[in-house]
Amino acid sequence: MKDFEYEAPVSLATAIEQIAAGNGSVKVLAGGTDLIDHIRTGRLTPSLVVDVKKIPELNVLEINSDGLRLGASVSCASVYGNEDICRDYSALSDSCHIIGGIQIQNRASVGGNLCNSGPAADSIPSLIALDATCVIAGPQGTREIAAEDFCTAPGKNVLESGELLVELVMPARPAKSGSHYLRFIPRNEMDIAVVGVGASVMLDETGETIQSARIGIGAAAPTPLFAKEASELLTGLPANEESFAKAAAAAQEIVTPIDDMRGTVEFRTHVTGVLTKRALHVAVERARKS
């Protein structure tokens, strides 16, 4: 580990100034559960670390008829500690429940999980399924981008030099909607997704027909994916296993996984289909109860 400077600004403007001045050799710290480990092992050698936990805009947690606003440094524990999120955005609380253990969840943030941009990040398929928009601030002002367009490669994303993720905005959830995230891990705890799938559905009044659906897939490509075709083909189909199987088959078409120490191409492709079916099944059950 090399020595570095540390700043903890209390305003968004100061943070952007400091990050921009850092000239690329700066790293943003929210929960730090990924960053500190990377610095310790020498994978990252920043000259400046900017702690963003003291900035009000990054600590927003608001849920109302417009939807959900989630500040980028809000912890996973705060997410699943919010009953409204657990009810209406359950895929996101599912994700937050399985990122690390309880100590990690008390520190780690959804924003940080997104900005770390790992292909296997557990929160990103849920953000995609819940149609999240990323609000980014920088020296040139503020811009917005869809969650599925945020990551560009393993560990890489759209943030330009000097830019900072401020919050994640998700639309309101109508009646008869439900969502779920699940992942496959070889063990039952303390593990990283070999494949992860987040799904959200909106049903008609009878609860029998799918009006719309969104499926996000993790760990099966260089970046988390929005399974567009698999999602859209479900519109108007009955909410049953046969429809889920169709979506699963379409989801399997878009993945481009690799062989590595966590799984094989064959395994990840097959399990993408399995988890898509299982995620949709639970999302529909939840929608019917909502």
Of 269-288, binders to other proteins (CB under 8 A) are 270-271, 274
- The Cα 226–Cα 5 span in angstroms is 38
Phi, psi at 209, each rounded to 5°: -120, 140
Interface with other proteins (CB under 8 A), residue total: 24
Question: Does 2 contact other proteins by CB under 8 A?
Answer: yes
Query: How far apart, in whole angstroms, are the C-alpha atoms of residue 222 and residue 209?
Result: 33
Q: Stretches 10-18, 166-174, 235-243, 255-263: which one binds other proteins (CB under 8 A)?
A: 255-263
The one segment of 64-72, 122-130, 228-236, 258-266 that binds other proteins by CB under 8 A: 258-266
Cβ atoms of 193 and 268 closer than 8 Å: no
Select from 27, 180, 183, 262 the one that contacts other proteins (CB under 8 A). Answer: 262
Residues 180-209 contacting other proteins, CB under 8 A: 184, 186-192, 194
Segment holding 178, helix H or strand E: strand 177-184
Nearer to other proteins by Cβ, of 102 and 190: the residue is 190
User: Which uninterrupted H or E stretch holds 13?
Assistant: helix 12-21
Position 246 contacts other proteins (CB under 8 A): no
Alpha helices of 31-89 — where are they, by DSSP H? 35-40, 76-80, 83-88
Choosing from 125, 263, 276, 282, the residue that interacts with other proteins (CB under 8 A) is: 263
**193 and 120 Cβ atoms separated by less than 8 Å:** yes
- Chain residues binding other proteins by CB under 8 A are 1-3, 41-42, 184, 186-192, 194, 260-264, 266-267, 270-271, 274
